Amino acid sequence: MNIKNGLILYIFISLMLYSCASSDRNKQSTDYMSFHEKYLKEIENIKESDTQAASYSGMVKIPGGEFMMGGNGAQARPDELPRHRCEVAEFWMDSTEVTNEQFKAFVEATGYITIAEREIDISEIEAQTGGKLGEGFSTEPASMVFVTPSKRGDYWWKMKSGASWKHPQGEGSSIEGKERHPVVHVAWYDAMAYAKWAGKRLPTETEWEYAARGGASESLYPWGNKFSESAISANYWQGNFPIKNLNLDGHERTAETTTYRPNAFGLYDMAGNVWEWCDDWYNARFYQEKRKSGLGNIASPTYFDSGQPDSPQKVVRGGSFLCNESYCTGYRNAARMKSSPDTGLEHTGFRCARSE
């Protein structure tokens, strides 16, 4: 799923580690980076808010230190291994995911239009898929919304016209009454744009995991090691995913960002609610190659997942309201997932960080 709403071919990229083949990957990677640079230049032109840049309100100071990064526990996946020692300098992090209320203030101040609200640029999609879409492909603004399938095996994502941060479930839906819910349908570029305006940045993957662990390097989840404590600690799917959501916590989708108890650092929703963008490019073998150290892989925009050089991905962390033990344990501290930076989804948001 790429370039704003993605192609149906890419529906599961954000949720599962599917790859797409290409006959000319080097050319596609080059073409894609031209679009990447275009978006970055647009972000550079955003004027930083004097008020926001001077404020640490709503942020928590995370003490520096060392920790063992990577998968611990039986559910660890290959891209989480091997565990390795990382050192993190002191930094600040938003105590909650960025809310609809906060994102609205950014949009009103800057006039920014998210990628999900823009007309689809067919040339961008073709640059990544290596093929022609042909006539009849709709270019109207749309985004992907979760729809409970009638049976297992059916798609659970549907492209809905008008779906965006203002209309999470498509035309006719709104964020009224959800001002303090996490903003969704934001692409990595949208998150970067907000961070620029706020005088902040996105956290690195290393910072994110360090903060999620809350000083407990061996913990499986942000709240500790007991899954039995998840009900008061995270907004996740309770039931048989994706067919039946028992909705035991009363939150079928997102929840207010301070609904569940924070971790030891005072950070809310480091598990569940929505996936959170990190600054890093994703590479499945980064840990194995032992290149992971310090603040992570943020300096090399050409260092992509070796299995998808034609479709560069950014790291997302923390799981969402669609995660559960039987399908997606994305709310584990070490769990890594990925999505293309121009993709926005109903279960993807972000929080910001700031260096000391």
Among 214, 247, 211, residue whose Cα is nearest residue 321: 247
Compute CA distances 11 → 157, 231, 330, whole Å: 7, 29, 18
Amino acid (1-letter code) at residue 309: P
Cβ-count burial of 327 within 10 angstroms (0-12 exposed, 13-18 middle, 19+ buried)?
middle
Q: What tens digit of pLDDT does each residue of 192-239 get? A: 999 999 999 999 999 999 999 999 989 999 999 999 899 899 999 998
Q: Looking at the predicted structure, is the pLDDT value of residue 65 above 90?
A: yes
Sign of CA dihedral 187, 193, 197, 203: positive
Among 118, 16, 123, 131, residue whose Cα is nearest residue 77: 16
- Please say whether the beta carbons of 344 and 116 come within 8 A: yes
Amino acid (1-letter code) at residue 93: M
Q: For residue 242, is the peptide bond before it cis, meaning its omega torsion is within 30 degrees of 0?
A: yes
In this prediction, residue 123 has a pLDDT band, given cuts at 50, 70 and 90, of: low
Q: What tens digit of pLDDT does each residue of 291-312 get? A: 544 445 444 444 556 456 567 8
Which domains, from first to last, does the chain contain?
A: 8-355 (3.90.1580.10)
DSSP state of 49: P
Neighbours of 79 (CB within 10 A): 21
Among 116, 126, 104, 125, residue whose Cα is nearest residue 182: 104
Q: Looking at the DSSP assignment, which residues form a beta bridge with residue 159?
A: 144
DSSP state of 12: T
